[in-house]
Structure 1
Amino acid sequence: MAIPSTPVPGAATSATERLHALDAVRAGALLLGVVLHTTLSFLEPRTWVVGDVSTSPVMNGTYFVIHVFRMTLFFLIAGFFARLVLHRRGTGGFVRNRAVRILAPLVIFWPLVMASTVVAIIIAANLAGEEVPGATPMTPSTFPLTHLWFLYWLLVLYVLALAVRAVVNLLDADGTRRSRLVDPIVRTVVARDLTPLVVGAPLCVAFLLKQDWLLWYGVPPAENGLIPNPVALVAYGCAFGFGWLLQRQVDVIRVWERRYPRNLVAAVVLTGVALAMVGLTPDTEPEALGWHKVVYAVVYTLAVWAWTMGLIGAAMRYLSRPNPSIRYVADASYWVYVVHLPLVMALQAAVSQVALPWFVKFPAILLVTYPVTLLSYRYLVRYTFIGALLNGRRRRRDEKPATEAAVPQAAAR
């Protein structure tokens, strides 16, 4: 498929290779979710249904850093690939493809994940000698989407994107205005390192407008409620929209490839400053509007986008070439993320009262979770209808291969 792009002088890497890099980053964002959720039982103070007898500020710091950038990174790439799939398949094909890849997994796996999560909560409470938490009434504002909330949000963003696109097409039927106005603006924003300021500004404002914003937790959680919370909608909606615009001229992100070292250094420094401002132990009380809150919102927003640009740039530099191992992990990452949480919770519960330090139990949980989920993908999912649902059909090595598509199938998720 021909991918619309504006060439950059000296660009040597093909558009297809760029997709390998972005798909690897998307997979990394999903797999980091396993690490993030594993830290939860070791945080202090306790915020998770499973509380371990061994906690550590190191786990707090790990959670903080990952949470800064993970979902912004994911949704930017989701927006990029959404536009790619739309222009590859047309509106009808896009809707059908997203219904299969996103809506169907949400409908199928949510009841299973919810039921197994409830079982894990009951087991954890019994092992710790605690009272089993009561059920929360399901309302539009409390509906437990669990960690599959990102699928629901993708569907919401797809609907919004199609609606905006329909209006834009009415105003700019031949695309001339977009090519002459929007594309140069995006190129300038990226080339002059204005992305954190321009794309991040709405998030910074949203932070400050939220009176009950808990600074330490950054973008508020989105796993509960069918109505997206405003701050998260701004954060992830802007990322999705910018990813959509970047796909109009793929080679623009080559700028991030060249500048990834300084962006990653900036990300580390800004994250360190943000963490120094709020400490390793989260404050569970909102802070009144003042200079501290304003400066923190600015620093945190800049960190979000420095990580996003730096990690995408590094991937473009080192992961652009096809690699069977990375491709396999990228294919598996969707399944791993969908099914990991009940297993992680069960393992957290199993070790929560064991008199071992966190630095033994934390990696042990990961060393069980990753192999189990990856192997289950290999033997129970990859070549079955479930694998076809999540990633498209995969052929075994002894089967006659189909014609290679120009775009990696995993990327089209």
Structure 2
Amino acid sequence: MAIPTANVPSTATSGSERLHALDAVRAGALLLGVVLHATLSFLEPRTWVVGDVSTSPAMNSVYFVVHVFRMTLFFLIAGFFARMLLHRRGTGGFIRNRAVRILVPFVVFWPLMMVSTVVVIIWAANQAGEEVPGPTPMTPSTFPLTHLWFLYWLLMLYVAALVVRGIVVSLDKAGNLRSRVVDPVIRTIVKTDLTPVVIGAPLLVAFLLKDDWEIWYGVPPAENGVVPNPVAVVAYGTAFGFGWLLHRQIDLLRFWERRGLRNLAIAVVLTGVALAMAGTIPPDGAEPMGARKIVYAVVYVLAIWAWTMALMGLAMRYLSKPNPRIRYVSDASYWIYIIHLPVVMALQTAVAQVGLPWFVKYPLILLVAYPLTLVSYRYLVRYTFIGRLLNGRRRKGESAEKAPETTPPVAAH
């Protein structure tokens, strides 16, 4: 993902190199989805189609922490790379690329993942001696996008970005408003550490206005419904838009790099406070409006952005140099995420009734799921038409670092 334009003071983000750090963060956000979904069978109380005989509040805590920041981080990077791609390829090239990398995989893989997930659900119910759950009535608000909902959302955000950009360009043909007003404002926000306050403010308001907000779950899930829920629209749309604006001034990432460890410490503390307030076991029902809801919403929003800034900054500090292994895993991460859910569910089902503690079974699921999906990428995807669809052409014998500068997948180059 070469950077076409920007005056950046470091070789890590120079115009001739890939942003290796952001490659790594993008891949990490996708791969954390496996970590998150693997916890679901061990949560208390049971909310997942597969219920393990061994559960633990520790698994609740893992889910809680990962859920705080993962998708905000992902959509921030998605917005960043979306603008990069638009400026590299133009509007027509952008649309064609996103159609190939996002729309086609969604159309092709959604039915495959849906069918395989249903098969595992039936197996899980039979294994546990439970009645197979009946189908949910299909409506615009219940349509099951599965874990591939993020592809649907990316398509919506791309359309919105092109519409907004078209309006802005028509009103600001010379670019003066953007260069003299928008860019300085964004720069001030980042330099003065106001990102969590200013960029997080819309989400804070959305949380407080949601009467049925179940605080433990943070941003409401988006895997069901072709009509997005408003809180998620605010959360992920804001992150995407901010990422888009950050690409106008790539050197701003250096401010997060210098403050990475500090922001990580802040993120850990804020997340600890939020978890202490919400409890390791999700409370029943929504939180009523009051001081507790307001304080929790403030802490939660600040934690989201503290994590996002910390992980972006730490990646810039420690992962900016080319690394063939990280590049390879980054290439594989799109495929791994697409196919992982039925794989994880099958592994959860296989061990659900086994009399072993959760701290044995949970790592075991990950130790099988990651290698299995990575091997499938190597032998079934990387050098096939599927690999060309997801990541662009790769040739056997070609090292990861010498691979051509294609336009990968999701958050995408």
Q: Give the TM-score category using the shorter length.
A: over 0.9
Q: CA deviation at 1:404?
A: 4.7
Q: Unpaired segments of 5 or more residues in structure 2?
A: none
Contact 2:390–2:408 (8 Å) recurs in 1: no
1:215-364 to 2 correspondences below 5 Å: 215-364=215-364
Q: CA deviation at 1:176?
A: 1.8
* Cα distance in structure 1, aligned partners of 2:211 and 2:114: 31
Contact 1:20–1:319 (8 Å) recurs in 2: yes
For 2:19, the equivalent position in structure 1 comes to: 19
Answering whether residue 66 of structure 2 is matched by residue 66 of structure 1, we say yes
* Cα distance in structure 1, aligned partners of 2:372 and 2:56: 26
* Cα distance in structure 1, aligned partners of 2:403 and 2:337: 29
Amino acid at match of 1:59: M
* Cα distance in structure 1, aligned partners of 2:247 and 2:384: 31
* Cα distance in structure 2, aligned partners of 1:336 and 1:349: 19
Q: Write out per-residue CA displacement over residues 157-188 of structure 1, whole angstroms, 9 at most, x where no aligned residue.
A: 00100000010011111212101111111111
Fraction of identical pairs, as percent: 72
For 2:179, the equivalent position in structure 1 comes to: 179
For 1:161, the equivalent position in structure 2 comes to: 161
Q: CA deviation at 1:111?
A: 0.3
* Cα distance in structure 2, aligned partners of 1:289 and 1:2: 46
1:50-199 to 2 correspondences below 5 Å: 50-199=50-199
Normalised to the residue count of structure 1, the TM-score between the two structures is 0.96
For 1:3, the equivalent position in structure 2 comes to: 4
How many residue pairs match? The answer is 409
Q: CA deviation at 1:14?
A: 3.0
Moved over 4 A (4+): 401-404, 407-411
SS at match of 1:261: helix
Q: CA deviation at 1:13?
A: 3.0
* Cα distance in structure 2, aligned partners of 1:220 and 1:404: 39
Q: Write out per-residue CA displacement over residues 188-207 of structure 1, whole angstroms, 9 at most, x where no aligned residue.
A: 10000000001000001100
Q: CA deviation at 1:76?
A: 0.1
Q: CA deviation at 1:4?
A: 2.9
Amino acid at match of 1:4: T
Q: CA deviation at 1:23?
A: 1.1
Q: CA deviation at 1:403?
A: 8.5
* Cα distance in structure 1, aligned partners of 2:135 and 2:217: 25
Q: Write out per-residue CA displacement over residues 114-165 of structure 1, whole angstroms, 9 at most, x where no aligned residue.
A: 0000000000000000000000121111100000000000000001000000
Contact 1:17–1:321 (8 Å) recurs in 2: no
Q: CA deviation at 1:397?
A: 1.5
Normalised to the residue count of structure 2, the TM-score between the two structures is 0.96
Amino acid at match of 2:270: L
* Cα distance in structure 2, aligned partners of 1:395 and 1:183: 41
* Cα distance in structure 2, aligned partners of 1:412 and 1:43: 33
Q: Write out per-residue CA displacement over residues 81-109 of structure 1, whole angstroms, 9 at most, x where no aligned residue.
A: 00000010000000000000000000000
Contact 1:36–1:67 (8 Å) recurs in 2: yes
Contact 1:270–1:300 (8 Å) recurs in 2: yes
Amino acid at match of 1:14: T
SS at match of 2:347: helix
* Cα distance in structure 1, aligned partners of 2:274 and 2:386: 42
Q: CA deviation at 1:3?
A: 3.0
Contact 2:29–2:70 (8 Å) recurs in 1: yes
Q: Write out per-residue CA displacement over residues 251-290 of structure 1, whole angstroms, 9 at most, x where no aligned residue.
A: 1111000000110000000000000101100013001100
Contact 1:17–1:322 (8 Å) recurs in 2: no
* Cα distance in structure 1, aligned partners of 2:351 and 2:265: 36
Distance 1:2 1:110, change over 3 A: closer
RMSD: 1.6
Amino acid at match of 2:187: R
Q: Unpaired segments of 5 or more residues in structure 1?
A: none
Q: CA deviation at 1:34?
A: 0.1
Amino acid at match of 1:383: Y
